[in-house]
Chains A and B, each alone.
Chain A
Amino acid sequence: MEIAATKDKIVSGAPQSALSVKAFRDPVPMEKTTSPTIEHKLRLTISNLNFYYGAKQAVFALSLKIPTNRVTALIGPSGCGKSTFLRTLNRMNETIRNTRVEGEVLLDGQDIHSLDVVGLRRRVGMVFQRPNPFPKSIYDNVAYGLRINGYKGRLDDLVEHSLRRAALWDEVKDYLKKSAFALSGGQQQRLCIARALAVDPEVLLLDEPCSALDPVTTAKIEELMFQLKDSCTMAIVTHNMQQAARASDFTAFMLDGHLIEHSETSKLFTTPTDPRTEAYITGRFG
C-alpha cells in the first residue's frame, strides 16, 4: 500500500510528455522516432545502438534515455533482446566471444566505450537472473567488490551499510562469517544486490532479478528497489508485467531487437500508442 502510494506520487509528479512511436522496423532515423521527451536529468543516453552476435543482429538502432534515480523497466517477449541490451550498458557482452556493438552509450555524458571497463562496471552494477553469490562468507561476498578495487577504508562499516541498504542486515548480522550458500534464494538475491551496492554504483542493472523467487520475496526486492531510488538509477529487465507496472517509473517495450514504445509506466500500461504494445500488455502474444 505504502509503495503504491509513493509510486503514484512519483508518477504523477513526472512531467507529462509527448508520445511518439517508433514504428516497427522503420528505417526512419531516430530523431523522428524518439522516446518520450523525459524532462528529467538523464543518467544514461543510448543512441542508435546496434548489437550483433556474430552475423546475427540482436539489437537494432535502439535509442533510449534512462533518467537519474528512477526505475526504467524493459519488457518484451523472450528473445527480444532485453537482456542483451541491458548487458551492453556495463559492457558485459564483451565477455562473450564474437560479439560486436555499434552506437553510443553516454553515462553522465561520457561514452562508456571510451571508459576503462573496470571503472565502468564499478559505476554500473549488475544483478543477475539467478542469485549468484560466491562460495565465500556473507561478509566476504559483500566486501569482494571493495577488496578487488583496492578499498583501504573500514570494510566492516561499508559491509553493514550495504547489507542495510539491501534490507538484509537484520537477517544476517549474526551470521556474517557463514557461507552465503546457507541463505535462502531470496536472501541470496538481496545479498547479490548488497554486493553490487557495496561499490556504490550510480546505476544498477537488474536482469530479471525475481524470476527465480517466490511472490513474497519478489515483493521484498521491489520494495528494496523503491528505497534505492533516492541514490541509484535502475534499469530492470522483467517478464512480469505486473512487476514492471508496480516497480518502475518508465517502461520500454521491446520486440525483436527494436524499441517499440517508451513512456511513463502509467501511460504505457493504460494508454499504449502502438498496437503491438497493447497486444503484448493485454496478453495477446509474447
Chain B
Amino acid sequence: MSALRITWRKSLNFVMLTLTGVAAFAVVSVLFLILGYLIWNGGASLSWKFFTQLPKPVGETGGGMANAIVGSLKLLFLAAVMGLPVGLLAGVYLAEFGGKTFSFIVRYTTDLLNGVPSIVIGIFAYSLAVLPVKHFSALAGGVALGIMVIPITVRSTEEFLRAVPGNMREAAMALGASRWKTIATVVLPAASGGILTGMLLALARVAGETAPLLFTAFGNRFWSQGWGQPIASLPVMIYTYAVAPYDDWHRQAWAAGLVLLGLVLLSNLGARFILARSKVV
C-alpha cells in the first residue's frame, strides 16, 4: 500500500470524525444559543412587573404579561383535563386489552394524528368549538391543545405499560383480581412514573403551540372573563408583540419567549426527575 493512500485514508478518517463531532456540537449549541439569545434580548425586560401586570395600552411603555402567563397555564389545564384521560385510557387499551386489527388501526391513526400540522388541528377546533357559539374562547383553545396532547400520551402510556413485567399481572390475577383491578392496582402504579413523565412531556410540547390558538383562544389584552371568553397565551402574545412595530413590544416578546422556554425546560426537568425516582419502569 502506498504511503499516499495511507495518508488519504487517515485524513478522510479525521475529516469524517471531525464532521460528526461538529454536527453533534451544533445540536447541543442550538439550545444554548437560543437560551443565550433570549436572555440577552429579553432578560432586561424580565422584571417583577412582567409577571404581575397587564399589558399597557399601545403607546405606553412598561407593563407585563401576567394575563398571558396565567392564560397559558389555564389552557394547559384544559388540555390536560380533556386530552390526558383519553390518551391514558386509549394507551391502557392498546397495552392491555387490544386485539390485533383494531389496535393496529388505533396505533397507526395515533401516529398520523401526531403528524397532523397544528394549524389544521386549530381549524378543526375552530369549527368544533368556535363556529357553533360564534366567538373565540379559552375552551376552544383547550380543545385544540387537548387533541394535540392525545397521541403523545397514548403512545407513551402504551410503551410504559408494556414495560411492566407480565408476571406481575399474573400474580395479581392469581390472587383473584379482575383484569381491570389488576391494571388499576398493580400495572398502572408500577408504570405511573413513566406515564406521568409522558404526560408532562406532552403538555410541555403543546405549551408552545401558537397556530392552533390563533383562531380558538384568540388572545386578550386583559384578564379573561371566563372559560367561554377569549384568553391570552404566551405563544400568541409573542407572535403579536414580535410583529408589532414598537421596540418596547419586541423586548417584551423576547422576555415572554424566555418565560415560555423556562416553563418547558422546567417541566422537562420535572419529568426526568419523576422518571428517575419511579420504581419499576
Chain A contacts to B: CB under 8 angstroms: 90, 92, 95, 117-122, 125-126, 128, 130, 132-136, 144-145, 148-149, 179, 181, 192, 195-196, 199
Contacts and interface: CB of A to CB of B under 8 A. Distances in A.
Contacts of B167: 128, 130, 132
Contact of A148 (B165, B175, B280): B175
A210 B190 CA distance: 25
Contact of B176 (A95, A121, A130, A134): A121
B173 A128 contact: no
18 contacts: A95-B169, A95-B170, A119-B176, A120-B176, A121-B173, A126-B174, A130-B167, A132-B171, A134-B168, A134-B171, A134-B190, A135-B279, A144-B172, A148-B177, A148-B185, A149-B176, A195-B175, A196-B174
B165 A132 contact: yes
A16 to B, nearest CB: 36
Contacts of A132: 165, 167-168, 170-171
A125 B186 CA distance: 18
B56 interface: no
B175 A144 contact: yes
B11 interface: no
B171 A135 contact: no
B181 interface: yes
A135 B163 CA distance: 13
Contact of B279 (A144, A149, A179): A179
A125 B189 contact: no
B178 interface: yes
Contacts of B189: 135-136
A138 B190 CA distance: 15
Contact of B185 (A119, A144, A192, A196): A144
Contacts of B172: 134, 144, 148
A136 B280 CA distance: 10
B161 to A, nearest CB: 13
Closest 3 CB pairs of A and B: A145-B175, A126-B174, A132-B167
Contacts of A148: 172, 175-177, 181, 185
B8 to A, nearest CB: 56
Contact of A128 (B170, B176, B177, B190): B170
A199 B279 contact: no
A147 to B, nearest CB: 8
B189 to A, nearest CB: 7
Contacts of B168: 132, 134-135
A96 B271 CA distance: 35
Contacts of A121: 173-176
B279 A118 contact: no
Contacts of A135: 168, 189-190, 279-280
B249 to A, nearest CB: 52
A187 to B, nearest CB: 16
Nearest to A133: B171
B109 to A, nearest CB: 23
B192 to A, nearest CB: 10
Interface string B137-177: 00000000000000000000000000001011111111111
A196 B172 CA distance: 10
Most buried by A among B165, B172, B189, B279: B172
Contact of A92 (B170, B177, B178, B186): B170
A199 B168 CA distance: 18
B238 to A, nearest CB: 42
Nearest to A116: B176
B31 to A, nearest CB: 34
Contacts of A117: 176
Contacts of A149: 176
Given A132-B167, A181-B279, A92 B190 contact: no
A181 B190 CA distance: 12
A90 B190 contact: no
Contacts of B175: 121-122, 125, 144-145, 148, 195-196, 199
